[in-house]
Amino acid sequence: MFELLGIPPQALFGQLLLGLINGSFYALLSLGLAVIFGMLNIINFAHGAQYMMGAFTAFFLLQFGIGYWPALIIAPIIVGITGIVIERLFLQRLYQLDHLYGLLLTFGLALIIQGLFRHQYGSSGLPYSMPAQLSGGHNLGFMFLPNYRGWVVVLSLIVCFGTWFVIEKTKLGAYLRAATENPTLVRAFGINVPRMITLTYGFGVGLAALAGVMAAPIYAVNPLMGADLIIVVFAVVVIGGMGSIMGAIVTGFGLGVIEGLTKVFFPEASNTVIFVIMAIVLLLRPAGLFGRAN
Amino acid sequence: MSVMLDRAAPLLAVEKLEAWYGESHILHGATFDVREGEVVTLLGRNGAGKTTTLKSVMGIVGKRSGSVAFGGQELIRMSSNDIARLGVAFCPEERGIFASLDVEENLLLPPVVRAGGLPLDRIFDLFPNLKERLGSSQGTKLSGGEQQMLAIARILRTGARLLLLDEPTEGLAPVIIQQIGKTIRALKEQGFTILLVEQNFRFASTVADRYYVMEHGRIIDRFANSELDANLDKLHDYLGV
């Protein structure tokens, strides 16, 4: 058995995998935040609560006999629709105002949503079992790979790069990019920009809910599961650059891995390493690694 | 002007148009019309309300009242995306080329709203430079003249019948201004109706059929291109040139 810098390879690769899993969630969540911020100019602090709602929706669906696979599609749609309602009722009134108002409103919504779920379901967490097809795992020789975790990484990569492709390479994406720059002019070309904004918010919220469904079999379904995660995800977004799609994806996965490696080499810093990186990036490149200063 | 022409229903009829930006009241009852196939120019000093007039027709000012009828249809309460779908297209003064889109994406961005738009090869006949620049990465890396051509070119594909052009010659070299003038005359021959805002009435006189002069958000005078020479002194007064 070989060792690397005195670390057994199982521990190293195990943490690397754990980092990739966390990175998958960071990437999906920060991608949703980036899409929403780019189009709506809203810092969506309710994102963590919407991630939690995705997990809970999967849990509720299971009570009706609807399992994991359909839930992957249905839960993001249901939670996305609640996002559309929030956008129509509240957010659309804030676009002309400072970012701070959107942040405060969505922060308040997050507290209300989390409070309601905690009142109803407590904070101990509800179990959600792994789909049978993905239980077990493979021994890769140097490490044991649980099938479900491999699936999370692959699905997250597919969804992230699919979203990137749509935004950067398709006609719909061209409308979105153009409307981010100059919504008035895009609307004067005959595009219903307000509807596009509403659907974009619904999509971003749906991404959060998808991450929630994917998380349900790994972490317990818990009203506060998003509150813990969202702080790290905001650090990821700041490091990547607010509103940058590729920045959100690369930084999400990259910081997950860095966090995992820190657990191996300097465990004491593993909870703070992302925030240290955030501080350094803010000092050297305030617009973020992939962000454009304006 | 013949009685026949006056009686023909205008494609665009604007009556007592008022418009506001927030608290500031910019248009105070502007009334004018544009007939099918005409090039009509709005002249006036900076701040007279020319750009606001175009934006009010397009439906992109905060608040407006009065009447804007296009092909007999009232636009005053319509959103700008619905107005565009009827066949009105706007080319803004700042050109509005998108930095996050490449040249081809910029050109193809406005959706086709009705049949009868120019096919791409006709557009490239009008703007040969654009064809060479199609591979360029970023729309905003083009020169000012090329950006202006791109801004006009992209609204020719859509089938819009009425083009609202806001100072298409501003800040451009004389040779480019000539090319824009040639383009506007070609578009007129193809049957486009054009409402043009210009500071440069020497340029306008090479393309326009009629003029309206604006001041303080109102139309204060009007004449045909054939009456331009007779009105030169007045015009110098109006424009302060």
pLDDT in tens, A224-234: 999 989 999 99
Average pLDDT over residues A85-113: 94
The confidence score (pLDDT) of residue A169 equals 94
Task: Say if the Cβ atoms of B90 and A187 lie within 8 Å.
Answer: no
Q: Which helix (H) or strand (E) holds B26?
A: strand B24-34
Residues of A in contact with B81 (CB under 8 A): 187-193
A46 vs B235, which has greater pLDDT? Answer: A46
Q: Tally A–B CB contacts below 8 A.
A: 57
The confidence score (pLDDT) of residue B6 equals 47
For residue A175, the chain B residue with the least C-alpha distance is B109
Of B83, B96, B105, the CB nearest to A182: B96
Q: Which domain holds residue A44?
A: 9-120+137-284
What are the residues whose beta carbons fall under 8 Å from the beta carbon of A276, sequence distance 6 or more? A269
Of B58, B99, B101, the CB nearest to A188: B58
Residues of B in contact with A174 (CB under 8 A): 101, 105, 108-109
Q: How far is A94 from chain B (nearest CA, A)?
A: 16
The tally of domains found in chain A comes to 1
Residue B4: count of CB within 10 angstroms of its CB: 7
Q: Which helix (H) or strand (E) holds B66?
A: strand B63-70
Q: Which class is domain B3-239?
A: alpha beta
Q: Does A108 fall in a domain?
A: yes
Average pLDDT over residues A46-70: 96
Tokens read off for A150: 């491999």
What are the residues whose beta carbons fall under 8 Å from the beta carbon of B23, sequence distance 6 or more? none
The confidence score (pLDDT) of residue A8 equals 79
Please report, for chain B, the start and end positions of each structural domain, with discontinuous segments joined by +: 3-239
Q: How far is B71 from chain A (nearest CA, A)?
A: 18
Q: Does A193 fall in a domain?
A: yes
For residue B139, the chain A residue with the least C-alpha distance is A178
Is A188 part of the contact surface with chain B (CB cutoff 8 Å)? yes
Is there a contact between A292 and A241 (Cβ–Cβ < 8 Å)?
A: yes
Is B94 part of the contact surface with chain A (CB cutoff 8 Å)? no
The confidence score (pLDDT) of residue B4 equals 43
Q: How far is B11 from chain A (nearest CA, A)?
A: 19
Is B98 part of the contact surface with chain A (CB cutoff 8 Å)? yes
The confidence score (pLDDT) of residue B55 equals 97
pLDDT, tens digit only, all 241 positions of chain B: 333 444 467 999 999 999 999 889 999 999 999 999 999 999 999 999 999 999 999 999 989 999 999 999 999 999 999 999 999 999 999 999 999 999 999 999 999 999 989 999 999 999 998 998 887 778 888 999 999 999 999 999 999 999 999 999 999 999 999 999 999 999 999 999 999 999 888 899 999 999 999 999 999 999 999 998 898 889 888 888 6
Q: Does A293 fall in a domain?
A: no
Q: Does A294 fall in a domain?
A: no
Of A180, A182, A189, the CB nearest to B111: A189
Of B79, B84, B100, the CB nearest to A181: B100
Tokens read off for A81: 């629709």
For residue A193, the chain B residue with the least C-alpha distance is B81
Of B84, B98, B110, the CB nearest to A181: B98
Is B90 part of the contact surface with chain A (CB cutoff 8 Å)? yes
Q: Which of A243, A269, A241, A274 is nearest to A257 (CA)?
A: A274
Catalogue the E-assigned strands of B75-224.
Answer: 88-91, 162-166, 193-197, 210-215, 218-224
The confidence score (pLDDT) of residue A52 equals 97
The confidence score (pLDDT) of residue A291 equals 80
d(CA B208, CA A218): 71
Per-residue pLDDT tens digits for A265-288? 888 898 899 999 999 999 999 889
Q: Does A188 fall in a domain?
A: yes
Q: Does A103 fall in a domain?
A: yes
Predicted ipTM of the assembly:
0.92
Of B85, B96, B105, the CB nearest to A190: B85
Residues of A in contact with B79 (CB under 8 A): 187
Residue A244 binned pLDDT confidence (cut-offs 50, 70, 90)? confident
The confidence score (pLDDT) of residue B2 equals 39
Task: Say if the Cβ atoms of A190 and B79 lie within 8 Å.
Answer: no
Q: What is the mean pLDDT of chain A?
A: 92
d(CA A203, CA B229): 60
Order of strands, edge to edge, in the sheet holding B88-91?
A: B88-91, B162-166, B193-197, B39-44, B210-215, B218-224
Q: Does A290 fall in a domain?
A: no
Is B81 part of the contact surface with chain A (CB cutoff 8 Å)? yes
Q: Does A162 fall in a domain?
A: yes
CATH (domain of A71): 1.10.3470
